[in-house]
């Protein structure tokens, strides 16, 4: 029966792949709409009128080919007929075969990007925090602070997830907190899908990690993609601290909103745990002292954060530009210096999400060529062209809300950033909207997958514990999505008023 099921799945996925290829090819060979040709020509030679039809066909060909490749990738990404990263690599091949660009240039756009090094460094740091036991110790500290009040515990897990996920990938944070939450629920005898406390606590494990992910570029793979697109497409270079100026306040203010939504939908059925606050503090006190691995991990982690934050201050004296990938690369190397950690590379490499790295590599290349061919700008004008007619606050709110809702379609933060960020940059440049503001707002929200469990592995981890249903998360997530979009728009407007611009 299992073999038959596998055979049926293979046939279904094979059909989806064939359909995706056919649609991609059909779009690639279609005549370019005059509006797309006009967009491409004006991008290359501002003020030039649209050329004659035969020349227009030639001018729009790379754009239609890029659009075809995007359609091909979208169908496979949404249907999950193939692994995300393999679809991304196939897109690079098709960009070459459809003559959107030269193969070496397409590959160098992704694989030659420093963001790849940044992401590897962040994943190495995450692996050491998890393996050394430092993450578990930090979680125990949070629990000792919240005490045994059930409402405070839900908030504590949200806060712990938010703080940790600013520096560690959100999926790792969820994996770290879920066993602790499950242990509490088992100890209290909370029944899966019946206990409101169980539903609220497990959803808090997911939401805290997602909220914290927007705080810094290290929080999730989608953040450095947004920074890279801003630098490559709009010529806007933002530092680690520049992102934090918007990301940290947004995360902090979304945190109480998330807690209020959980308390509204899932008010705990009991006020306190059976275990006392004193017992929780005693458990932390009885933990063994920090071992050597924890101390080394904490040291390297702290040094990396300090360099990231202090970059604007030390670039001048050093006489060099410090890209955000450099401190991450330094951290990865420090762990393996003689006399440092006892861990071997083979112990760490299995913890690194190589599939995620490949997806980022291919995503940057695909997004860049969508922009270079003028397709991103044309799609943005076609779909969102009238957004420039509303006030700035409404623009920010609509962009963030739109990105959050589109997350329902995409099962990957990196895929969301790859498709949407070039469109948003194209929209800003075409309509005169502040590119930095709306792109940063969109970048912050590419990882806020509050609605569907299946949208990100971060949600799947606590969902697998069995305490809440897909419907439970969706109904509360819809409310939080609107609330988070409002908060982000408010934060951006406030900071803009203080700074005099983005």
CA 298 remoteness from chain centre: 25
Half-sphere exposure of 87 toward its Cβ, with a 13 Å CA cutoff?
27
29-64 in b/e form (b: 16+ CB < 10 A) is eeebeeebbbbbbbbeeeeeebeeeeebeebbbbbb
Q: Can you tell me whether residue 275 is helix, strand or coil?
A: coil
Read off φ and ψ for residue 281, nearest 5 degrees.
-70, -35
Radius of gyration of the chain (CA): 24
Asked if 335 and 329 touch (Cβ cutoff 8 Å), the reply is no
Half-sphere exposure in the Cβ direction for 194 (13 Å, CA): 4
Residue 65: closest CA among 37, 36, 25, 93: 25
Q: Which residues contact 72 (CB under 8 A, 6 or more apart)?
A: 20, 21, 23, 24, 90, 91, 94
pLDDT the model gives residue 411? 59
178: closest CA among 119, 132, 129, 135?
A: 135
Displacement of CA 421 from its chain's centroid (Å): 12
Q: CA–CA separation, 465 vs 157, rounded Å? A: 16
Residue 445: per-residue pLDDT: 86
Please give the average pLDDT of every successive group of 10 residues along the chain, which has 502 residues.
69 91 91 72 49 41 85 85 84 88 84 76 80 76 78 92 86 79 84 94 95 88 83 82 92 96 95 74 78 90 84 79 81 86 83 76 78 73 72 87 75 74 79 79 86 79 86 93 94 89 72
pLDDT given for residue 254 in this prediction? 96
The confidence score (pLDDT) of residue 486 equals: 94
Say how far apart CA 233 and CA 436 lie, in whole Å: 11
Dihedral class, residue 374 (left if φ above 0, else alpha if ψ from -120 to 50, else beta)? left
- pLDDT value of residue 39: 63
């Amino acid at each position: 029966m299992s073999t038959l099921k596998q055979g049926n799945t293979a046939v279904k996925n094979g059909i989806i792949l064939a359909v995706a290829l056919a649609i991609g090819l059909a779009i690639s060979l279609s005549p370019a709409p005059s509006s797309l040709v006009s967009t491409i020509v004006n991008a290359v030679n501002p003020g030039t009128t649209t050329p004659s039809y035969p020349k227009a066909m030639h001018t729009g060909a790379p754009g239609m080919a890029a659009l075809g490749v995007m359609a091909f990738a979208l169908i496979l990404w949404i249907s999950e007929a193939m692994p995300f990263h393999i679809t991304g690599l196939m897109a690079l091949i098709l960009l070459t075969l459809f003559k959107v660009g030269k193969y070496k240039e397409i590959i160098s756009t992704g694989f030659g990007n420093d963001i790849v090094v940044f992401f590897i460094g962040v994943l190495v740091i995450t692996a050491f925090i998890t393996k050394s036991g430092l993450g578990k110790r930090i979680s125990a500290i949070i629990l000792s602070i919240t005490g045994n009040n059930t409402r405070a515990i839900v908030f504590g897990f949200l806060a712990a997830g938010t703080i940790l996920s600013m520096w560690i990938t959100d999926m790792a944070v969820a994996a770290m907190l879920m066993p602790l939450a499950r242990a509490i629920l088992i100890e209290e005898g909370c029944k899966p899908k019946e206990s409101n406390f169980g539903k609220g606590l497990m959803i808090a494990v997911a939401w805290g990690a997602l909220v914290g992910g927007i705080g810094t570029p290290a929080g999730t793979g989608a953040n450095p993609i947004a920074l890279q697109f801003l630098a490559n497409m709009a010529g806007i270079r933002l530092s680690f601290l520049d992102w934090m100026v918007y990301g940290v306040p947004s995360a902090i203010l979304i945190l109480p909103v998330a807690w209020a939504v959980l308390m509204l939908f899932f008010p705990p059925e009991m006020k306190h745990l059976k275990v006392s606050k004193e017992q929780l503090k005693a458990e932390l006190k009885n933990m063994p002292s920090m071992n050597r691995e924890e101390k080394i991990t904490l040291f390297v982690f702290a040094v990396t954060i300090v360099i990231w934050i202090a970059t604007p201050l030390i670039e001048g004296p050093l006489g060099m530009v410090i890209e955000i990938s450099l401190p991450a690369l330094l951290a990865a190397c420090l762990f393996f210096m003689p006399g440092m950690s006892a861990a071997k590379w083979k112990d760490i490499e299995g913890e690194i999400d190589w599939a995620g790295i490949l997806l980022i590599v291919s995503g940057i290349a695909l997004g860049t060529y969508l922009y270079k061919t003028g397709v991103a700008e044309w799609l943005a004008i076609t779909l969102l062209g009238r957004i420039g007619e509303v006030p700035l606050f409404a623009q920010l709110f609509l962009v963030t809300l739109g990105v959050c809702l589109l997350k329902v379609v995409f099962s990957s933060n990196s895929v969301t950033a790859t498709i949407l960020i070039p469109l948003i940059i194209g929209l800003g440049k075409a309509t005169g909207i502040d590119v930095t503001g709306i792109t940063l707002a969109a970048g912050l929200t590419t990882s806020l997958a509050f609605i569907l469990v299946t949208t990100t592995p971060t949600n799947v981890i606590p969902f697998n514990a069995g305490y809440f249903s897909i419907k439970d998360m969706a109904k509360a997530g819809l409310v939080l999505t609107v609330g988070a979009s409002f908060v982000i728009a408010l934060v951006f407007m406030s900071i803009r008023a203080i700074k005099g611009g983005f």
